[in-house]
Structure 1
């Protein structure tokens, strides 16, 4: 998701600290969203949980953006690309929720952390942003970390990790198209398309597959998916108003802390040493890629 406003060129130390705190809180919300989805899917189903997530996001986006008063939000310069991007987000969400039925929160999150590696790898052929040998080596190291977690052939991780890996591919494509659309459509238009597509595609399906009779607690958790997603995106926008994405990006990896805590206290999950070691390698590779990207941009602007 792109921030609606750019960060000030000379952010103060206080602004940076506030932005970092907002960023960490945003990813705490996204972790809570995944934990809520993991709790919900056995009770109401994966597709149903996905529908709840997109419907709540759509309603909030409609209330905030008011497309009935601002018709320009509905007009896209690249509508086909918007639709493809929205479909990739929908697929990534469903695949992530499928994986969460079987995997620990930390396992799915660590696999999702490879998304920047995938984006860096495919940026060359798709966007012409070719990477050098250092970043290519970092990508290789990052994928070695994933192999350490999954340990194929050694019974390391549940087969449902395949859902996460396919989801990473979908989300990488979604991220690439987000960057492409930033030069064509407003962030409001892109945000609206993201949620609207999920609602339009899943709502007819709900007429045939919704059989759940949620109790009060389940209804509360269903509402919580919208709350966590909305609050997380709002905090993310506030953070990017203070400082640039280059400063904030490394704090994406604080999400592993929230996932560890939520997985342990809610589901009693405790990752093994292989998962922790692999996660550390993936995170280090991702942070190094971000560092090299900042170096490259500083050279370009010099």
Structure 2
């Protein structure tokens, strides 16, 4: 992989991530109403663990499973696992207590959090030329959600905690990716932590599931496994403040699915917001790609 092409490949992986995670979110909305969060998370995490072990066995020492499930960064991996669990709990509580629009506003602020933390934690300070891209992304989120936040309440605290811990988990993934290429390990250990925590509550909330719902959970786990593997590889190739705005492409998938599946015609504010989100992601990718291409040309 050439230095110049790295940002473009990373951007493509993030785009695939947004598609798979949007599919997982859709399945969650379909079946989560009848079950408690620990049941859904414990079952899906167990299935993701089985998929990870299977991929590791099938991959051997190939590119997919380079390094197997070993990690050379146990402390950073433990921190990533803990932050992932906190983010899952935070987002579930936020979606339970708040309208989707309010929660998505906090998701849209994750690039700003990543930009703020990337310098002191990873030594990747934000370039001045990237500020405009971030500003476009934040403006696009507010256009998509013009109603803004309602009166502050507990759900907003959960959403803020989830956004901070979720961004922290991504920064850990970026850090670990500097030292090892075994992306499956970064899928395995956070899901092991989710399973361990949620299994503690499982006996108190378990409800029998018909085969159809089990099939949906299996589909959710498959989408989640693909999404987490894709984002781990992407964060090895892209700075976190570039990857997180691209993740706002989830809003684009929401608009497309809403129109195709439910006949929801987007308004002018939605179209403007989607355009700004796309422009923000492209700006940041180009801001990261052009200097790399210049370096590659100088070396050539």
Same fold (TM over 0.5): yes
Question: What's 1:61 paired with?
Answer: 52
Output the aligned Cα RMSD: 4.1
Superposed CA offset, 1:237-273 (max 9, x none): 9x98xxx769x96975554343224345667876655
Aligned residues: 279
Partner residue in 2 for 1:260: 255
Of the three residues 166, 177, 184, the one matched with 1:182 is 177
1:132 is matched with 127
Q: How does 1:242-253 map to 2 (within 5 A)?
A: none
- Residue number among 287, 294, 298 corresponding to 2:293 in the alignment: 298
How big is the shift at 1:85? Answer: 0.4
Q: Look up the SS of the partner of 2:208 in the other structure.
A: coil
* Alignment check: 8 A CA contact 2:81 2:191 kept: yes
Q: Is the 8 A contact 2:246 2:281 kept in 1?
A: no
Report the counterpart of residue 32 of structure 2 in structure 1. Answer: 41
Shift in CA distance, 264/97, structure 1 to aligned 2, threshold 3 Å? farther
Which segment is superposed worse, 265-274 or 142-151?
265-274
Structure 2 runs not aligned, ≥5 long: 62-66
Partner SS for 1:76:
coil
Contact 2:83-2:169 within 8 A present in 1 as well? yes
Q: 1:179 to 1:42 in 2, by over 3 A?
A: same
What residue is the counterpart of 1:52 in the other structure? Answer: 43
Moved more, 269-278 or 219-228: 269-278
Q: Which whole-Å deviations, capped at 9, do the CAs of 1:21-73 have from their partners, x for residues lacking one?
A: x8755543221101111222211123322223322211111222249x99x74
CA contact (8 A) 1:86 1:195 kept: yes
- Aligned mates of 1:138, 1:300 — CA distance in 2: 22
Alpha-carbon distance in structure 2 between the residues aligned to 1:94 and 1:75: 27
Per-residue CA deviations over 1:280-302 (Å, capped at 9, x if unaligned) read 33442233222212233334554
**3-state SS of the aligned residue for 1:174?**
helix
Task: Select the residue among 193, 203, 208 that pairs with 1:213.
Answer: 208
Distance 1:271 1:163 in 2: 29
Q: Following the alignment from structure 2 to structure 1, what is the Cα–Cα distance between the partners of residues 132 and 246? A: 22
Q: Does 1:77 align with 2:68?
A: no
Going from structure 1 to structure 2, the CA distance change for 1:51 and 1:231 (only over 3 Å counts) comes to: same
Equivalent residue runs for 1:147-186 within 5 Å? 147-148=142-143, 149=145, 151-152=147-148, 155=150, 160=155, 163-185=158-180, 186=182
Helix, strand or coil: the match of 1:131?
Answer: coil
Shift in Å, 1:121? 2.8
Alignment counterpart, residue 200 of structure 2, candidates 192, 199, 204? 204
Q: Find the aligned partners of 1:98 and 1:265 in 2 and give their Cα distance.
A: 29
Displacement of 1:274 after TM fit? 4.0
Q: Secondary structure of 2:178's partner? A: coil
Stretches of structure 1 lacking an aligned partner (at least 5 in a row):
1-6
TM-score, normalised with respect to structure 1: 0.72
Who is 2:111 aligned against? 116
2:189 paired residue number: 193
